[in-house]
Structure 1
Amino acid sequence: MIRIHFIVNPIAGHGNAPLTKEELQPYFITNVHDLTVKISEYKAHATQLAQESIAEQADIIVACGGDGTINEVAACLIGTNVALGILPMGSGNGLASNLKIPKNRRKALTIIRERHEECMDVGTINGRYFFSNTGVGFDASLIKNYESSEKRTILGYISACVTTFRDIKKNQPLSITVNGEQPMINPFIILISNSNEMGYKLSLTPKASLQDGKLDVLVIKKINRLKMLWLGFLIIIRKVHWLKESTSFQTTKLQLTRNHESFFDTQIDGEHHELATNILDIAILEKSLCVLTAK
């Protein structure tokens, strides 16, 4: 028997897509697939449930939710023989989109049933894992505002953008050094990507790959509000490199140092985190996670 455990975030996306074993069973073969459904009830609970499923000798653990749920589950599977399945139920679904896993439930479950595995790279930031991207600056503030909003939709995302734009001048001065080079004062954004998509089909690093053994880094220095609007348009058409204040490069490791402060506001796979340190060490682990994808 192939043991498949589904870990479900019931409030992912609009929170109206419940999942039960009875709903899933018709997509699988009764005498071949043994299904278990577990419900995540609070932040980091999916991690605990995934660890329990590993101890229960699951062959596949399926993260049913958005990028945050995927992060909690996938972090447990690195270095194991357990494959990650993804059932996109979030609002952005950046990693699933990059892996060409559709939101259509039947098609996504077919990918899980057919069990075609590929290995993908994984990013690390101060011992934590990220699978899509991590960053500081505007996107970290944006995610912080988005999480405080009750609207988990593209409109909620736009509203968080407006709030973040408005609050930029209120933020404390920020000085960051990248790999020991000349410090930048109040950089607009420093994004480190493993994936070519952030969610909602938006991308700041359209050439990033999950399997090239590299991190794609985008640095945008301090820009005025007019340039911010121009950047928003360039993101939509995937031409961020047209902004002269932007710099892009690839690397296998990176260090960010925040001068004069002992904490970093960051986003990790679309979740806000405040890290109690002034140094971020970021690196890539090549092909360290097995994930189920379309053939």
Structure 2
Amino acid sequence: MRVSVVINPKAGSVNPGLIEEKIRSALFRCDLVFSKAKTLEEMDQFLCEELAHKTDFFLICGGDGTVNTCLQYLVRAEEDLTKIPPIAVVRSGTANDLAHEIGISRRIDQAVRNILEGSVRNIDIIQISSGDKKAFMLTNGGLGIPAMTADLANQVRFSLQKVANCPQTAGFFKSIAKNSYQLIKKIGPGVYSLMVAEALRTWDPNGWELEFELPGDKKFATNAPIVLVNNQPSIGNKFLPAPFTSNTDGTVNLLLAEGRRVREHLSSFLHLRNGTVSQSDRFTSYEITEFKVRSKNPSRPITFFGDGEILFKDVAELSVKCLHKGLPVVVGSPAWEK
């Protein structure tokens, strides 16, 4: 059995060498092929070669962002989604929402052995498109303040990493940047909670107006600054925007939170954190197969994040569609704890 292993050496705080050692020990009877690609081009090349070799499984070691990066290539490479080999996950990234949702153990050896002892489930893929460009996600995404939060978190990580790796950076500042970057990696999804405060502080409601088009020719306009697109119940194990949403039901959850003042936005995020969205009349929720959203103000274009990554930036319109049970994933064995 051939297992193609993608290890993101920049993800999370787990040593890539330790991950490889655990994988070799757990899957010693398998034909293992490893990639520790440092560029998107290297990763795409590896995925292309392994698809050509008709690998039996992809084992992706990283967070939601690493899985998302692989997903973009695999869906574009295989028009027939049923031909994509099952994807197994080792949670070793900043955000590991998919791994949490499908019951993947935090222990590397147990997560790896799901290939032998777990089962395969087909989950929904959410397709987002603007013009000719398409992107895909598996967990949660959105626009407005949530997208701003994700963008800020990514900017902080990128800036610290850039300073830490720059030869011209003075030793003292390089050390601070490196230690700060490692701290953020250890904080994990908590970094998004930290960035929420900054997003709330700097959000400008002026000129923000969206128009949605839902199935059945239903259209409405809104100034909602919090727009979430959910394929599973929780985000970062801390926010519960869609407690009844499933990644196998063929629908996507669209959640809007109205409000113009900071205290209203803060109240909305507290409801999201506490899982009490249904108790607030500020929220509106839809379970639908697809929808469109456009900005009614050209000076306030849309930025969309999905799986923790910025998938579209400054576009006028987006179409969102659920591809029902489009991706085979290896889910955790009932014997393992999450």
Asked if TM exceeds 0.5, the reply is yes
Measure how far apart 1:43 and its partner are: 4.7
Aligned CA distance change for structure 1 residues 100 and 79 (closer, same or farther; 3 Å): same
2:192 pairs with 1:195 = no
Q: Which amino acid aligns with 1:197?
A: S
Q: Which amino acid aligns with 2:209?
A: S
Measure how far apart 1:253 and its partner are: 0.6
Q: Report if aligned partners of 1:149, 1:156 keep a CA contact under 8 Å in 2.
A: no
Please give the alpha-carbon distance, in whole angstroms, between the structure 2 residues aligned to 1:65 and 1:133. Answer: 17
2:72 pairs with 1:70 = no
Unmatched 5+ stretches in structure 2: 76-80, 158-183, 334-338
Please give the alpha-carbon distance, in whole angstroms, between the structure 2 residues aligned to 1:74 and 1:133. Answer: 14
What whole-Å deviation, never above 9, does each CA across 1:19-40 have from its counterpart, x for those lacking one?
A: 564442211242xx11111013
Measure how far apart 1:17 and its partner are: 4.5
2:10 pairs with 1:51 = no
Please give the alpha-carbon distance, in whole angstroms, between the structure 2 residues aligned to 1:119 and 1:274. Answer: 26
Measure how far apart 1:51 and its partner are: 2.3
Map of 1:173 onto structure 2? 207
Please give the alpha-carbon distance, in whole angstroms, between the structure 1 residues aligned to 2:98 and 2:190. Answer: 20
Q: Report if aligned partners of 2:19, 2:108 keep a CA contact under 8 Å in 1.
A: no
Q: Which amino acid aligns with 1:90?
A: G
Tell me the TM-score normalised to structure 2 length: 0.79
Q: Report if aligned partners of 2:139, 2:307 keep a CA contact under 8 Å in 1.
A: yes
Please give the alpha-carbon distance, in whole angstroms, between the structure 1 residues aligned to 2:20 and 2:258. Answer: 50
Q: CA RMSD in A?
A: 2.1
Q: Report if aligned partners of 2:257, 2:268 keep a CA contact under 8 Å in 1.
A: no
Map of 2:112 onto structure 1? 109
Q: Which amino acid aligns with 1:138?
A: I
In our comparison, the structure showing a higher alpha carbon Rg is 2
Q: Which of 299, 303, 306 does residue 268 from structure 1 map onto?
A: 306
Map of 2:2 onto structure 1? 3
Q: Report if aligned partners of 1:208, 1:216 keep a CA contact under 8 Å in 2.
A: yes
Q: Report if aligned partners of 2:190, 2:236 keep a CA contact under 8 Å in 1.
A: no
Q: Which amino acid aligns with 1:122?
A: I
Q: Which amino acid aligns with 1:146?
A: A
Measure how far apart 1:54 and its partner are: 0.9
* 59-68 or 216-225, which deviates more: 216-225
Structure number having the greater helix percentage: 2
**How many residues get paired?**
290
Please give the alpha-carbon distance, in whole angstroms, between the structure 2 residues aligned to 1:228 and 1:194. Answer: 22
Please give the alpha-carbon distance, in whole angstroms, between the structure 1 residues aligned to 2:212 and 2:42. Answer: 34
Q: Which amino acid aligns with 2:304?
A: T
Identity among equivalent pairs (%)? 21
Q: Which amino acid aligns with 2:274?
A: I
What whole-Å deviation, never above 9, does each CA across 1:224-253 have from its counterpart, x for those lacking one?
A: 222223223222221122221110110001
Aligned CA distance change for structure 1 residues 129 and 216 (closer, same or farther; 3 Å): same
Q: Which amino acid aligns with 2:105?
A: P
Please give the alpha-carbon distance, in whole angstroms, between the structure 2 residues aligned to 1:89 and 1:20. Answer: 9
Question: SS of the residue aligned with 1:183?
Answer: strand
What whole-Å deviation, never above 9, does each CA across 1:258-293 have from its counterpart, x for those lacking one?
A: 113284211021112334531111111111111111
Please give the alpha-carbon distance, in whole angstroms, between the structure 1 residues aligned to 2:97 and 2:41. Answer: 20
Q: Report if aligned partners of 1:223, 1:245 keep a CA contact under 8 Å in 2.
A: no
Tell me the TM-score normalised to structure 1 length: 0.90
Question: SS of the residue aligned with 1:181?
Answer: strand
Q: Report if aligned partners of 1:254, 1:283 keep a CA contact under 8 Å in 2.
A: yes
Measure how far apart 1:139 and its partner are: 0.7
